Structure 1
Amino acid sequence: MKKINLCAIETTPPLAGLDRICDMEAGRMAGKVFWDGEIYEQELEKIFARCWLFVAHESQIPNAGDYVATTMGEDEVLVVRQKDLSIKVLINACPHRGNKVCFAEAGNARGFICNYHGWAFGTDGALRGMHESGVYEQSGFDKSQQSLREARVDSYKGLVFATFAEDAPSLAEYLGPMAWYLDVILDNDEGGTEFVGGCIRSTIECNWKIAAENFVGDILHAGWTHDSAAQAMLGGSVTKVSEFPESWQVNWNGHGYEFTRDLVGNAAVLGESGVNKYLHLHRPKAEERLGEFRSKMLGAVSSFTVFPNFSFLPGQNTVRVWQPRGPNKIELYTWVIVNKNAPQEVKDMWRRGAMMTFSPTGVFEMDDGENWEYCTKTSRGKVTRYQDLYVGLGMNTRLTDTDLPGNVFKGQLNEANARAYYQRWKDLLQAGSWAEVPDRNGKLS
């Protein structure tokens, strides 16, 4: 029986009217993009089944047989370390009737067995046997055609990504020059990084794009939304972002990083002075690896989203994935990332600080969650879903006289990254294949 690669078949034509509700050259869009169910279904097909998605950190699965369960969009998958220590990403659904083959969130296994009819799979996804196997053999059954479906897998300095699209560019091409900025977090120490403290899972009743956009470049909200929380954590007044002498927004194909170079601005609000001390002491070593410019970005006021839904807060060292659960709900997966060679007491400080600030009961996350929920819920109205939303801050601020990689814009208080993010979103929804996705780098103001 010939297997059909469904992900290579675009069965849904592009939605009509996207140009009317998303015009980034004018810096305008409509709230419908956050509520509409038809748009959401296209996102699952043309973004989450097509893009490279973060699925795990290698430190979560160090040994053969180790696995973690996660999702790619709404497709449940298993990230499994193989006997040769390579990594596979397998659909967590039996090819017989679609039942889950693994219900645990993480563990170590020699294989996976479906509860329904006893189909047994190796950690490589191959079907090894089944209950009443003789019945299948009489039907000319070919086990080799019934493996758990695999995604393409690649990694970047400890981060594991996967995609279901055979025509997707390589991960290196997908990340492009933004890898240079990722190295600030991932490669400032020779030992690399690891996740500590497990995964925090929570739900927020908001559209996934609102959260991802917040981290792609919305530092503007912090001085207002988080002012009281920041003052409480710092014990006094907070420096305004507009007062930073140097700050930037940088984007590439929807990925975006906004940052300054104050070294410890984000880290300071953790309430753990030992983290700041570690960053100051570690900076000379980081400078040897990254150069002087990036060494001052280590714990600075900054945020980063890898399109579509994978975000960082450097300094606070919180890593999160905004998992879509319908157009108006997300499941948030949160981890703490640290340098593997950092002292254990410093790792513990980062873990405690992240829980205090960016967790379901964190002083900052509660502020964000409420705002994101109401940004989503107001869009359900027949009139408000077509309300013109402004995304035009910082038009015509692109810098051409800089050696920084990517598309570089002046100042953190800008919406250049948000415009690039939504343009990429729109381009993917309108494209029938990766070959049809336009290259707009350097063409948006």
Structure 2
Amino acid sequence: MTGFAPRTSEVAEVIRIPGRETEFIRDLRSPNRFLVNRAAFTDDTVLAREREEVFARCWIYVGHVSEIPKPGDFVAREVAGRPILFTRNSAGEIRVLLNSCSHRGAEVCRERRGNQRRFRCFYHSWSFDNDGRLVSMPDEDGFPEGFRKEDHGLAQPTSVDQYRGFVFLTFNDEAEPLVDYLADAKYYLDLTADQAAADIGMAVQSGTHEYSMKSNWKLLAENSSDGYHAIPVHKTYLDVQKSRGDQIAGNTEKDWKASHAFDLGNGHTVTVKQAPWGRPIARWQPSMGEDTKAVVEESYRRLEQVHGAERAELIANLDFNMLVFPNLVINNIMAVIIRTFYPNTPGHMNVTAWSLAPKDETPEARRVRNESFLSFLGPAGLATPDDNEALESCQRGYQSRPGEGWSDVSRGMDKVDPANWDELQMRTFWRRWDELMGGKA
């Protein structure tokens, strides 16, 4: 299998990237070390700065186009701490509106999803269309001379754009175009979207996983592409798969084939490998059950018909965990998960996740996918609770030295080709985070 990265480097990062020491990171040379100040996980003032310098400046994931297929469809959710309406106008165009009435600020929609032409605020009955325009209000004549409805539409982000069905917003007037912001993350979004034929597309499955964690949001950013923890933390899952017949050695270097980590630009990172578990898109393993083998093999044949043998092989057998900076995770492993997370306090975050699948997947194939997805990626599966406990344990551990201490993120720092169990991906995240936070020496 070839072609699993858009670009590689023949020089180790300690040569390519100058060292620096700031308030929060120590990117050291001779000896090579990368340290993160644990105050970044616990300090209230850090979170206040993140809201302004990271979440208000970057492109932030909103949702997938498949969630609102028809004109008038909408989903109400929080994005980066702001209540929004993700909808389509009467012409079928995507809109993102802030869910706050321009009159006194109440939510104009208190339902989670649906289809409607108007959003009416329950407080004073101001009504807005799904382009955000104020269209009606009681006692309009009671407002003073010069009042104009067109001046009181719902607020909207500075920009909204999409790539391969993934919709993003930004509140930054100076933000670069989304296609530039995504940089080489587009390569892996393409691999994800290409699990379905272009004229069919991928779709978010019904149902949303929502849960919270008593840990800092950046710990989940680290964890989401961290291969180093997989063997010790997810031993139960791997043991179960092994007991069902999968060839699992329980050893990092033996189990993860073709393992690499890449800096994709703008803080985006990915780890890639061929893992020992099955993938419902087209890689059968005994743990999936003999009765599913024909279903999975048929999925592979369909990939070959659509994309040809070489790209079908790549789509079917490349496992990857990608972070689109700052808080979107696409884990394309034993199924595809879209996961976002946002901090409430330095030690608490909300997490939202969805399963993504080919829109035309057969009921039999969808059953195989759901079983594979929920066994590992679901919030009650054999792995996600392990991750949650590990991150909460870190957050508790920081209380042993409040406001002090440094975490070591140095593994693989001097390698030309770091593996997914190294930590280039975390260092990439931290360098971008520190840059946006205006890291001072």
Matches within 5 A, 1:247-396: 247-252=259-264, 253-261=266-274, 265=278, 272-273=288-289, 278-283=295-300, 285-286=302-303, 289=307, 292=310, 295-296=313-314, 298=316, 300-314=318-332, 315-381=334-400, 383-396=401-414
TM-superposed deviation, 1:223: 0.5
Does structure 1 residue 397 correspond to structure 2 residue 397?
Answer: no
Provide the rounded CA distance (Å) in 2 between the counterparts of 1:64 and 1:92: 18
- The partner residue of 2:84 within 73, 77, 80 is 77
Do the aligned residues in 1 keep the contact of 2:127 with 2:135 (CA within 8 Å)? yes
Provide the rounded CA distance (Å) in 2 between the counterparts of 1:61 and 1:219: 34
Residue of structure 2 equivalent to 1:417: 425
Do the aligned residues in 2 keep the contact of 1:233 with 1:269 (CA within 8 Å)? no
Structure 1 counterpart SS, 2:437: helix
Provide the rounded CA distance (Å) in 2 between the counterparts of 1:255 and 1:275: 35
Provide the rounded CA distance (Å) in 1 between the counterparts of 2:94 and 2:87: 6
Do the aligned residues in 1 keep the contact of 2:241 with 2:277 (CA within 8 Å)? no
Provide the rounded CA distance (Å) in 2 between the counterparts of 1:390 and 1:254: 19
Provide the rounded CA distance (Å) in 1 between the counterparts of 2:367 and 2:403: 44
| 1:53-102 per-position Cα deviation (integer Å, ceiling 9, x unaligned) | 11111111000010111222111111011112110111111122221111
Does structure 1 residue 221 correspond to structure 2 residue 229?
Answer: yes
List gaps (5 residues or longer) in structure 2.
Answer: 1-19
TM-superposed deviation, 1:233: 3.6
| 1:134-170 per-position Cα deviation (integer Å, ceiling 9, x unaligned) | 112x242122121111121111111111111121111
Provide the rounded CA distance (Å) in 2 between the counterparts of 1:265 and 1:219: 17
Provide the rounded CA distance (Å) in 2 between the counterparts of 1:67 and 1:311: 23
Do the aligned residues in 1 keep the contact of 2:278 with 2:288 (CA within 8 Å)? no
Provide the rounded CA distance (Å) in 2 between the counterparts of 1:390 and 1:266: 33
How many correspondences in the alignment? 402
List gaps (5 residues or longer) in structure 1.
Answer: 1-16, 399-408, 432-445
Do the aligned residues in 2 keep the contact of 1:355 with 1:362 (CA within 8 Å)? yes
Q: Which residue identity is paired with 2:40?
A: V
TM-superposed deviation, 1:20: 2.7
| 1:89-142 per-position Cα deviation (integer Å, ceiling 9, x unaligned) | 111111222211111111111111112222211111111122221112x24212
TM-superposed deviation, 1:350: 1.6
Provide the rounded CA distance (Å) in 1 between the counterparts of 2:241 and 2:161: 39
Structure 2 counterpart SS, 1:259: strand
Structure 2 counterpart SS, 1:321: strand
Structure 1 residues 276 and 38: CA distance shift in structure 2, 3 A: farther
| 1:332-379 per-position Cα deviation (integer Å, ceiling 9, x unaligned) | 111111112321221232223323322232111111111111212332
**Cα RMSD, aligned residues only:** 2.5
Provide the rounded CA distance (Å) in 2 between the counterparts of 1:386 and 1:72: 31
Provide the rounded CA distance (Å) in 1 between the counterparts of 2:95 and 2:21: 36
Provide the rounded CA distance (Å) in 1 between the counterparts of 2:418 and 2:346: 33
Does structure 1 residue 246 correspond to structure 2 residue 258?
Answer: yes
Provide the rounded CA distance (Å) in 1 between the counterparts of 2:341 and 2:21: 23
Structure 1 counterpart SS, 2:183: helix
Provide the rounded CA distance (Å) in 1 between the counterparts of 2:276 and 2:187: 17
TM-superposed deviation, 1:385: 3.4
Q: Which moved more, 1:261-270 or 1:37-46?
A: 261-270
Provide the rounded CA distance (Å) in 2 between the counterparts of 1:155 and 1:332: 22
| 1:169-219 per-position Cα deviation (integer Å, ceiling 9, x unaligned) | 11110111221122221113312211113212111111111112211x201
Structure 1 residues 277 and 413: CA distance shift in structure 2, 3 A: farther
| 1:363-417 per-position Cα deviation (integer Å, ceiling 9, x unaligned) | 1111111111121233245x2432121000001223xxxxxxxxxx432111001
Provide the rounded CA distance (Å) in 1 between the counterparts of 2:122 and 2:180: 40
Provide the rounded CA distance (Å) in 2 between the counterparts of 1:357 and 1:188: 20
Do the aligned residues in 2 keep the contact of 1:320 with 1:335 (CA within 8 Å)? yes
Residue of structure 1 equivalent to 2:149: 143
Q: Which residue identity is paired with 1:141?
A: F
- The partner residue of 1:53 within 41, 56, 60 is 60
Structure 2 counterpart SS, 1:206: coil
Provide the rounded CA distance (Å) in 2 between the counterparts of 1:24 and 1:294: 40
Provide the rounded CA distance (Å) in 2 between the counterparts of 1:186 and 1:275: 23
Structure 2 counterpart SS, 1:198: coil
Matches within 5 A, 1:121-140: 121-136=128-143, 138-140=144-146
Do the aligned residues in 2 keep the contact of 1:265 with 1:300 (CA within 8 Å)? no
Provide the rounded CA distance (Å) in 1 between the counterparts of 2:384 and 2:148: 51
Q: Which residue identity is paired with 2:423?
A: E
Q: Which residue identity is paired with 2:381?
A: G
Does structure 1 residue 92 correspond to structure 2 residue 116?
Answer: no
Residue of structure 2 equivalent to 1:197: 206
